[in-house]
């Protein structure tokens, strides 16, 4: 299994334009929430805390993976996933049309934002070369948020050392 640093550096190498990262701050949470929402049906076992659904199973698997990569960031991702599960549960119990409209709508808009960001970046999405990019994307956004707040400076510095600083616009060609 690749380390946290390797995973984030690989993903970051596809995301050095600040505008692209900005679209990811909105698009990835939208996509992740849409998946949680759409997988919040069927309810296999109703429970007061969290109903047992495909979304809960996926969140547990993702949470374990994120915790294996890094305890602090993994805990942050677990909090995000549990929050999404709590918000999605009542929405999934609503009318089917509403549940599908929100789930599919958020998914489509999230991917449109991702596409715009990658057009600005001038690079294809990371998951086209490695499907793990679909799992690392949410962790990347969480890590970038932590970096913006001044957390994990050593990890941030290591990633910058490996893939370079962020910029606005495409990298100028070198001679």
If one compares 35 and 170, the residue with the highest pLDDT of the two is 35
Position 107 pLDDT exceeds 60: yes
- Which pTM value belongs to this model? 0.90
- The answer to whether position 174 is within a domain reads no
In this structure, the number of other CB atoms found within 10 A of the CB of residue 25 comes to 14
Whether residue 172 lies inside any domain: the answer is no
Say how far apart CA 116 and CA 110 lie, in whole Å: 10
**Residues in CB range of 116: below 8 A, 6 or more apart:** 23
Domain total of the chain: 1
Q: How far is CA 159 from CA 34, 90, 165, 170, in A?
A: 29, 39, 9, 19
Q: Tell me, yes or no, whether 128 lies in a domain.
A: yes
Q: Is 144 part of a structural domain of the chain?
A: yes
Q: Which structural domain, as residue segments, surrounds residue 11?
A: 4-163
Model pLDDT for residues 43-57, shown as the tens digit of each residue: 887 777 788 999 999
Q: What is each CA distance from 135 to 48, 65, 101, 174, 175, in whole angstroms?
A: 28, 9, 24, 33, 36
Looking at the domain assignment, is residue 170 inside a domain? no
pLDDT of residue 175: 42
Does position 173 have pLDDT exceeding 60, yes or no?
A: no
Residue 87 lies in a domain: yes
């Amino acid at each position: 299994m690749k380390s946290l640093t390797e995973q984030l550096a690989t993903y970051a190498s596809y995301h050095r334009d600040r505008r692209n990262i900005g679209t990811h701050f909105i698009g990835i949470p939208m996509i992740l929430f849409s998946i949680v929402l759409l997988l919040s049906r069927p309810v296999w076992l109703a429970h007061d805390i969290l109903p047992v659904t495909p979304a809960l199973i996926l969140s547990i698997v993702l949470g374990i993976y994120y915790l294996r990569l890094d305890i602090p960031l993994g805990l942050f991702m677990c909090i995000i996933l549990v929050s999404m599960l709590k918000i999605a549960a009542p929405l999934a119990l609503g009318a089917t049309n509403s549940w599908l409209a929100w789930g599919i709508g958020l998914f489509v808009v999230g991917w449109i934002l991702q596409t715009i960001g990658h057009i600005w970046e001038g690079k294809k999405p990371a998951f086209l070369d490695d499907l793990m990019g679909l799992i690392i994307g949410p962790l990347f956004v969480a890590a970038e948020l932590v970096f913006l707040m001044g957390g994990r400076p050593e990890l941030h510095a290591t990633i910058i050392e490996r893939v370079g600083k962020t910029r606005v616009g495409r990298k100028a060609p070198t001679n």
